[in-house]
Chains A and B, each alone.
Chain A
Amino acid sequence: MIEVRDLRVSYGGRVVAKVPELDVAPGECVAIVGESGSGKSTTLLALLGLTEGAEVGGRIRVAGVDVTSASPAELRAIRGARVALVMQSPQAALSPTLRLGTLMRRALRLHGVGDAERVMAEAVEAVLLDPAILRRYPHEVSGGQAQRFAIALAIALGAEAILADEPTSALDVTVQAEVVAVLRTLCAERGLALLLVSHDLALVSTIAHRVLVMRAGEVVESGPAGRVLSEPSHPYTRELLEALP
């Protein structure tokens, strides 16, 4: 679903992210962990061709499209519809003047998805939201509800992969548990590919199959989550683990 080789993102000659290899298969969750400034989010944005002003080298294939050479129209066709981006604060990305239902209906029409009412009902149910939420405005829902709505939007559009950048770090622990449960189920039952960016290693250990640890733009360690987090070979991974409260 996602295949990256020798990715190199730089701004004005300064390399901010270097990823030799990153693959995410359907039904798999891969996590990129590291501190602020480690290049995790840049890597994620590069996958959708969203690093404006940056020089991007290497090979990126997402949903069968070669992102580095794709035309703007080809990129628009995969963004949202086949690969969804879920950010830390979804409320900031939702139009404040539209009810959530209107917003979802418009997105479906834009991407040519038919039978909108049924698709919407199913998507909302898949993320355990009350269908009544579709009548509300973004400011009338909680952070956790908005985050699950963002995931529902991805499902409604038929996304095969979700790129999630710190999707739960602004949420209460109880709400985080709900969002994580939804993401796990989507991977396991719908075969969704999930690329998760997080600084929370404990959270990552409960959901990811594989982990990439990034520091200052470089991947310092990668491998199966169980091994990387229980027997870290790089001192930085150990430092991250020891920092857990």
Chain B
Amino acid sequence: MTSSGSLLRAERVTLGYGRTPVVHDVTLDITGGGVGLIGESGSGKTTLARAFLGLLTPMSGNILYGDQNLKKVDMRRFRGDVQPVFQAEALDPRMRVGRSVAEALPRDARHRVPELLEQVGLDPALASRRPHQLSGGQRQRVVIARALAVNPKLLILDEPTSALDVTVQARILDLIAGLAAERLLITHNLAVVGKLCRTSHVLFAGRVVESGPTADLLARPAHPYTLALRDAVPKLGGEPPVARGRAEVRPAETGCPFRPRCPMAVTECDRAPALRDLGGHQEGQDGRRVACHRAEDVLREPSARR
């Protein structure tokens, strides 16, 4: 734990590939109860996850693990504590899945393979199969079993269910919810975050634009982008999903990056908004932070309330 009570912490982190930054000056804590990172493709979610896993060194800023800079942490120990769960395509197609799981275990603990497969709801007899002989849901369970092999404290899950059918997705989400390990969940599906994460952060164009308790964030979005994401999710028997603004429009280079897509943009938005505490401090607003000049107006929008 860091002194702020988080398992991992990004402190003013800027990340990029080559000289091009794609995540800008992000400060974010992974605390208990599940943390969600929400955003569209290209918002920087996976890049941030890679940095949290020590797979990408920040251009500036620090990733802290237990009050220690991740650069100085013993990676062998870290890998035992923090494990990734990517989409099931990450399994070696030539390797039997039992061996895939065994590989993650210390040599003297390889007898635990059946136990791990059972823990994720798989028949241990499937250990002799290769990935292509399993269904998508079964493969995803193998990926989770592999991650659990080292008894990690934290799982970093990147779109763990987005390639799965709804019924299979529901079972995998129940499995994840029942695990003892803490979790950072990366997804573009707000409904999934609502189930698994106490806190969520919304990323747009590599910046955190809104943070707070997930339930409150989804009930009353204060950033027009969060509102757009929420209203784009189809609801059973509900109105057709709302397309607010054109998703293909490029983010602005200066000022508020969301401005070109924002239906509420005003002249003030030429100036980049800082991430600030949401005013009012009404009940349920604790810990809400937003980067929008018009957040209070967004909250007053009748369509923003649910």
Question: Is B166 interfacial (CB-CB < 8 Å)?
Answer: yes
Smallest CB gap from A145: residue in B: B248
CB contact between A35 and one of B168, B188, B192, B228 (< 8 Å): that residue: B168
Contact between A201 and B166, CB atoms less than 8 A apart: yes
CB distance from B74 to the nearest CB of A (A): 38
Which of B58-66, B235-243, B270-278 contacts its partner?
B235-243
Report the Cα distance A180→B234, complex, angstroms: 10
Question: Is A52 interfacial (CB-CB < 8 Å)?
Answer: no
Question: Is A173 interfacial (CB-CB < 8 Å)?
Answer: yes
Counting chain A CB atoms within 10 Å of each CB, the highest count among B192, B243, B246 belongs to: B243
Across-interface contacts of B189 in A (CB, < 8 A)? 173, 245
CB distance from A4 to the nearest CB of B (A): 24
CB distance from B89 to the nearest CB of A (A): 14
Contact between B235 and A206, CB atoms less than 8 A apart: yes
Report the Cα distance A160→B165, complex, angstroms: 30
CB contact between A245 and one of B194, B240, B241, B244 (< 8 Å): that residue: B194
Question: Is A176 interfacial (CB-CB < 8 Å)?
Answer: yes
Known A144-B248, A173-B188, A177-B232; contact A245-B195, beta-carbon cutoff 8 A: yes
Question: Is A18 interfacial (CB-CB < 8 Å)?
Answer: no
CB contact between A36 and one of B135, B235, B244 (< 8 Å): that residue: B135
Question: Is B254 interfacial (CB-CB < 8 Å)?
Answer: no
Q: Which 5 A-B pairs have the closest CB atoms?
A: A243-B170, A245-B191, A177-B241, A177-B232, A177-B243
Show the binding face of B for A, using Cβ within 8 Å.
Answer: 40-41, 135-136, 165-170, 173, 188-192, 194-195, 228-229, 231-244, 246-248
* Given A176-B234, A177-B232, 19 new contacts (CB under 8 A): A36-B135, A142-B41, A142-B247, A173-B189, A174-B229, A174-B247, A177-B234, A180-B234, A180-B240, A202-B233, A203-B234, A206-B241, A239-B167, A243-B169, A244-B166, A244-B191, A244-B236, A245-B166, A245-B191
Show the binding face of A for B, using Cβ within 8 Å.
Answer: 35-36, 128, 142-145, 172-178, 180-181, 184, 199-203, 205-207, 226, 229-230, 239-245
